[in-house]
């Protein structure tokens, strides 16, 4: 293993030794290639650069206390990439090829999987782009699927804690029948302005309502939302939300813990009735929310007065992390041992 100060790593890019690539040409995917170069040489008229033919995924590899390296639910990421491929007219990558490439790139870079004690992990970034040159707006005929990895530091440097959010009313991340449910870079470009404004105003992140009516909860930045009340886990239903694998897993865990689960439209005002609230995604698992401000109405929805996460959020967080690290029994078969 590399001798690095893992806990000091940020969420930047730290170089590793290899990435894996696969090209789609003449209607077929080619051989899996192992590369040491972390640059791409692509045509300046590639469709990914002009018309947003770009899909990505994000998952992690964990060095576990038993010495093994595990990856969490990669079949789910593979399936979601396929859905994104249909969404923006790209050829799909088979689940088997996706998994083979994830395993390969993690094994090749296993020295960069941080220690368990550091709280850091190896972030895995699959990326699919249209590369054939074209000025007319049409799907590309050639594609590159590439997976790189980079170690990332622990999400909660000062410990698991709650953060403030602000409702965005002058900017939408995604439209009801747009690409919000697909993991494409364009959605992130659309969120940058609101995110930057939220930071300027002193909030951790922006909070989106549905684009059409501005009545219902959509997403918290680039994470799914959940609220807890009366032993029930409640998460929004909307056509513009990205289906989070972390959320899907927390829903199952909540059921395992004997909680009820509701997935339905959530009116903004209902925020007042939640005992706990959080944002969820691969990066943090759960990022508890301390309060959400609606600057237009002057209303503050508070979930944690002292910045401490609630009991249910903490239990779900610990529960999922323990499965990812092979500490708790993986009764749903979510993890794959990639290095014994």
Ligand X SMILES: *Cc1c(COP(=O)(O)O)cnc(C)c1O
Considering the complex, what minimum distance in angstroms separates the CB of residue 298 from ligand X?
28
Contact flag: residue 223 with ligand X (CB under 6 A): yes
Least distance from C-beta 243 to ligand X, angstroms? 8
Which of 84, 224, 238, 287 binds ligand X (CB under 6 A)? It is 224
Q: Does 222 bind ligand X (CB under 6 A)?
A: yes
The answer to whether 287 contacts ligand X (rule: CB under 6 A) is no
Q: Chain centroid to CA 130: how far?
A: 22
Measured from the CB atom, is 281 or 310 closer to ligand X? 281
Least CB distance to ligand X at residue 48 (A):
17
Choose which of 35, 43, 58, 262 interacts with ligand X (CB under 6 A): 58
**Minimum distance, C-beta of residue 169 to ligand X, in the bound complex (Å):** 19
Distance CA(74)–CA(76), nearest Å, equals 5
Closer residue to ligand X, CB minimum distance, 63 or 73:
73
- Least Å distance, CB 8 to ligand X, is 24
Supply 226's token pair: 């959940």
Q: How far is the CB of 160 from ligand X (least distance, A)?
A: 17
**Catalytic residue numbers, as ranges:** 183
Nearer to ligand X, 238 or 304 (CB): 238
Residue (106 or 223) nearer to ligand X, CB: 223
Would you say 105 or 124 has its CB closer to ligand X?
124
Instruction: Looking at residues 189 to 218 of the shown chain, list those that interact with ligand X (rule: CB under 6 A).
Output: none
| Shortest distance (Å) from residue 36 CB to ligand X | 28
As a whole number of angstroms, the longest Cα–Cα distance in the chain is 59
The CA-based angle 73-128-34, given to 5 degrees, is 80
Give the angle 162-164-166 at the CA atoms, nearest 5°.
150
Task: Kindly state whether residue 324 participates in binding ligand X, applying the rule CB under 6 A.
Answer: no
* Closer to ligand X by Cβ: residue 142 or 323: 323
SS (H, E, C) the chain: CCCCCHHHCCCCCCCCCCEEEEEEECCEECCCEEECCCCCCCCCCEHHHHCCCEEECCEEEEECCCCCEEEECHHHHHHHHHHHHHHCCCCCCCHHHHHHHHHHHHHHCHHHCCCCCCCCEEEEEEEEEECCECCCCCCCCCEEEEEEEEEECCCCCCCCCCEEEEEECCCCCCCCCCCCCCCEHHHHHHHHHHHHHHHHCCCCEEEEECCCCCCEEEEECCEEEEEEECCEEEEECCCCCCCCHHHHHHHHHHHHCCCEEEEECCEHHHHHHCCEEEEEECCCEEEEEEEEEECCCCEEEECCCCCCCCHHHHHHHHHHHHHHCCCCCCCCCCEEEEEC
Q: In this chain, which of 281, 309, 310, 319 binds ligand X, going by CB under 6 A?
A: 281
Quick one: 131 or 205, whose CB is closer to ligand X?
205
Q: What number of chain residues touch ligand X (CB under 6 A)?
A: 13
Q: Segment 170-189, which members bind ligand X (CB under 6 A)?
A: 183
- Residue 114 · residue 6 · CB < 8 Å: yes
x/- mask, ligand X, residues 231-250, rule CB under 6 A, reads: -----------x-xxxx---
Q: Which of 53, 238, 240, 282 binds ligand X (CB under 6 A)?
A: 282
The residue ranges that bind ligand X (CB under 6 A) are: 58, 183, 219, 222-224, 242, 244-247, 281-282
């Amino acid at each position: 293993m590399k001798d690095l100060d893992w806990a000091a790593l940020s969420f930047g890019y730290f170089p590793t030794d290899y990435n894996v690539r696969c090209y789609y040409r003449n209607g077929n995917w080619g051989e899996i290639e192992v590369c040491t170069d972390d640059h791409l040489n692509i045509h300046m008229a590639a469709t990914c650069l002009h018309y947003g033919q770009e899909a990505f995924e994000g998952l992690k590899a964990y060095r576990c206390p038993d010495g093994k390296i595990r990856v969490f639910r990669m079949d789910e990421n593979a399936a979601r990439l396929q859905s994104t491929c249909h969404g923006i007219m790209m050829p799909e990558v088979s689940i088997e090829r996706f998994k083979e490439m994830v395993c390969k790139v993690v094994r090749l870079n296993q020295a960069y999987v941080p220690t368990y004690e550091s709280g850091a992990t190896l972030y895995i970034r699959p990326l699919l782009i249209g590369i054939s040159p074209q000025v007319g707006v049409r799907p590309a005929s050639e594609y590159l699927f590439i997976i790189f990895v980079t170690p990332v530091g622990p999400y909660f440097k000062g410990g698991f804690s709650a953060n403030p959010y602000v409702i965005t009313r002058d900017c939408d991340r995604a439209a009801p029948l747009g690409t919000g449910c697909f993991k494409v870079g364009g959605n992130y470009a659309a969120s940058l302005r609101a995110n930057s404004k939220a930071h300027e105003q002193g909030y951790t992140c922006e909070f989106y309502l549905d684009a059409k009516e501005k009545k219902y909860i959509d997403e918290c930045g680039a994470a799914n939302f959940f609220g807890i009340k009366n032993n029930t886990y409640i998460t929004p239903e909307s056509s513009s939300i990205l289906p989070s694998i972390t959320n899907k897993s927390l829903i199952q865990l909540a059921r395992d813990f004997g909680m009820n689960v509701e997935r339905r439209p959530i009116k903004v005002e209902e925020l007042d009735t939640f005992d706990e609230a959080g944002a969820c995604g691969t990066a943090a698992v759960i990022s508890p929310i301390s309060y959400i401000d609606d600057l237009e109405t002057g209303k503050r929805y508070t979930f944690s007065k002292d910045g401490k996460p609630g009991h249910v959020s903490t239990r779900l967080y610990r529960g999922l992390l323990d499965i990812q690290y092979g500490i708790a029994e993986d009764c749903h078969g979510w993890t794959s041992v990639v290095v014994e």
